[in-house]
Amino acid sequence: MRQSAGMMVNYVYRLGEVEVNHEAYARDRTVVASRRFEQHAKESMLAVVPAKSSPSLSSTAEPAELPPSP
């Protein structure tokens, strides 16, 4: 259990950025994420120094707040 982790993520697709983000991942294995998510990933107890072939995170502006689910 000490090495287990779970996370629920809500995606916000900005249609004007989908192709650019896809190309960044396909070319460089860069994962585009909000600054808040990137900070949580860096602070995670499971965080390790990424190997060359591991995906990296690239910060974007914080997504707009979404209304709560009904």
- Is 1 part of any domain? no
Run of H or E including 48: none
Average pLDDT score over residue span 52-65:
54
- Top pLDDT among 50 and 29 is at 29
Q: Report which listed range, 8-17, 23-32, 43-52, 53-62, is most confident.
A: 23-32
13 assigned to some structural domain: no
Angle at 28 between CA 26 and CA 33, to 5 degrees: 85
- CA-to-CA distance for 4 and 1, rounded, in angstroms? 5
Q: In total, how many domains does the chain have? A: 1
CA distances from 63 to 12, 45, 46, 56 (A): 7, 25, 25, 19
Q: Quick one: pLDDT at residue 51?
A: 54
Report the alpha-carbon distance of residue 59 to residue 39 in Å, rounded.
9
pLDDT band at 26 (very low <50, low <70, confident <90, very high): very high
Residue 48 lies in a domain: yes
pTM metric for this prediction: 0.49
Which residue range(s) make up the domain with 45? 18-60
